[in-house]
Amino acid sequence: MIKFDQVGKLYPGGYEALKKVSFEIDKGELVFVTGHSGAGKSTLLKLVAGIERPTTGTVLIGNQNIAKLRRAAIPHLRRRFGLVFQDHKLLYDRNVFENVALPLSINGIVGHEAGKRVRAALDKVGLLSKEKAMPVTLSGGEQQRLAIARAVVSRPAMLVADEPTGNLDETYATEIMGLFRAFHQVGVTVLIATHDVHGIAALGGRTLHLDGGALR
Amino acid sequence: MIRLWLIQHGQALRLVLARMWRNRLSTLMMLGVMGVSLSLPALLGTVIDNLTRFSGELRLEPQISLFMRVESTPDQVDAIRHRLEGHAGVATHRFVPRDEAWQALQASSGFQEVTSGLKNNPLPDAFVILPKAQTPEAVQQLHDDMRTWPEVEHVQVDADWVKRLYAVVELGHKVVFVLFGLLGFALMAVVGNTIRLQIMTQREEIEVSKLIGATDRFIRRPFLYAGALYGFGGGIAAWVILSAVLWLFNLTVQDIAALYGADFMLHMQPWDKSLLLLASAVLLGWVGAFLAVTRALSELETS
Å between B208 CA and nearest CA of chain A: 6
**pLDDT tens digits for range B40-71:** 888 888 888 887 777 666 555 677 888 888 88
Q: Which fold has domain B64-158?
A: Alpha-Beta Plaits (3.30.70)
Task: Inspect the interface and report whether the beta carbons of A83 and B205 lie closer than 8 Å.
Answer: no
* pLDDT of amino acid B96: 85
* pLDDT of amino acid B263: 64
**pLDDT tens digits for range B177-219:** 898 889 889 889 989 998 998 888 888 888 888 888 888 888 8
One-letter amino acid for residue A84 of the chain: V
The ipTM (two decimal places) reads: 0.83
What percentage of chain B has pLDDT greater than the value 70?
Answer: 91
DSSP A157: S
* Dihedral sign computed on CA atoms, order A202, A205, A210, A211: positive
Å between A152 CA and nearest CA of chain B: 11
**pLDDT tens digits for range A38-79:** 888 889 998 888 888 899 999 998 888 888 888 888 888 888
Of A112-121, B51-60, B258-267, B294-303, the range with the lowest mean pLDDT is B51-60
Q: Is the pLDDT confidence value at B119 over 80?
A: no
Task: Inspect the interface and report whether the beta carbons of A72 and B8 lie closer than 8 Å.
Answer: no
Task: Say which residues have a Cβ less than 8 Å from residue A20's Cβ, sequence separation at least 6.
Answer: A6, A7, A8, A56, A57, A214
Chain A residues close to B9, C-beta within 8 Å: none
Task: Inspect the interface and report whether the beta carbons of B211 and A51 lie closer than 8 Å.
Answer: yes
Longest dimension (CA), chain B: 103
* pLDDT of amino acid A128: 92
* pLDDT of amino acid B109: 64
Å between B298 CA and nearest CA of chain A: 12
Smallest Cα–Cα separation from B187: which of B32, B38, B28, B43? B38
Å between A76 CA and nearest CA of chain B: 6
Looking at mean pLDDT, say which of B33-42, B128-137, B154-163 comes out highest.
B33-42
Reported as a pLDDT band with limits 50, 70 and 90, residue B287 is very high
Task: Inspect the interface and report whether the beta carbons of B218 and A106 lie closer than 8 Å.
Answer: yes
Partner-chain residue, chosen from B8, B208, B215, that has the shortest CB–CB distance to A89: B208
Given a contact cutoff of 8 angstroms between Cβ atoms, the answer to whether B217 and B10 are in contact is: no
**Section B214-225 average pLDDT:** 90
Domain spans of chain B, in order of start: 16-58+163-302, 64-158
Reported as type and span, the H/E element at residue B148 is none
Of A1-15, B116-130, B248-262, the range with the lowest mean pLDDT is B248-262
d(CA B224, CA B16): 10
Reported as a pLDDT band with limits 50, 70 and 90, residue A25 is very high
Given a contact cutoff of 8 angstroms between Cβ atoms, the answer to whether B164 and B33 are in contact is: no
DSSP A39: S
Closest chain A residue to the Cα of B201, Cα to Cα: A93
* pLDDT of amino acid B128: 86
Closest chain A residue to the Cα of B221, Cα to Cα: A106
Q: Is the pLDDT confidence value at A139 over 60?
A: yes
Å between A90 CA and nearest CA of chain B: 8
* pLDDT of amino acid A143: 92
Reported as a pLDDT band with limits 50, 70 and 90, residue B10 is confident
* pLDDT of amino acid A196: 79
Task: Inspect the interface and report whether the beta carbons of A102 and B209 lie closer than 8 Å.
Answer: yes
Residue with more model confidence, B166 or A165: A165
User: What is the number of CB-based contacts under 8 A between chain A and chain B?
Assistant: 51
Give the count of beta carbons closer than 10 Å to the beta carbon of residue B91.
12
Of A212-216, B17-21, B103-107, B248-252, the range with the lowest mean pLDDT is B103-107
Partner-chain residue, chosen from B4, B205, B208, that has the shortest CB–CB distance to A108: B4
Closest chain A residue to the Cα of B218, Cα to Cα: A106
Q: What is the mean pLDDT of chain B?
A: 83
**Section B267-280 average pLDDT:** 84
Task: Inspect the interface and report whether the beta carbons of B216 and A102 lie closer than 8 Å.
Answer: no
CA atoms within 13 A on the CB side of A213: 12
Residue with more model confidence, B167 or B126: B126
Task: Inspect the interface and report whether the beta carbons of A75 and B210 lie closer than 8 Å.
Answer: yes
Q: State the pairing for strand pair A16-25/A189-193.
A: unpaired
A155 vs B: CB within 8 A: no
d(CA B92, CA B84): 9
A206 vs B: CB within 8 A: no
What percentage of chain B has pLDDT greater than the value 90?
Answer: 13
Reported as a pLDDT band with limits 50, 70 and 90, residue B9 is confident
Q: Is the pLDDT confidence value at A22 over 80?
A: yes
Q: What is the pTM of this model?
A: 0.70
* pLDDT of amino acid A159: 93
Chain A residues close to B209, C-beta within 8 Å: 102, 106
A73 vs B: CB within 8 A: no
**pLDDT tens digits for range A145-167:** 999 999 999 899 899 999 888 87
The terminus-to-terminus CA distance of chain B in angstroms comes to 33
Closest chain A residue to the Cα of B4, Cα to Cα: A108
Partner-chain residue, chosen from B4, B213, B216, that has the shortest CB–CB distance to A79: B213
Chain B residues close to A77, C-beta within 8 Å: 213
Å between A158 CA and nearest CA of chain B: 13
3 state DSSP class of A11: coil
Task: Mark out chain B residues that contact chain A at CB-CB < 8 A.
Answer: 4, 7-8, 11, 204-205, 207-216, 218
Of A136-150, B192-206, B261-275, the range with the lowest mean pLDDT is B261-275
* pLDDT of amino acid A96: 94
Å between B214 CA and nearest CA of chain A: 6
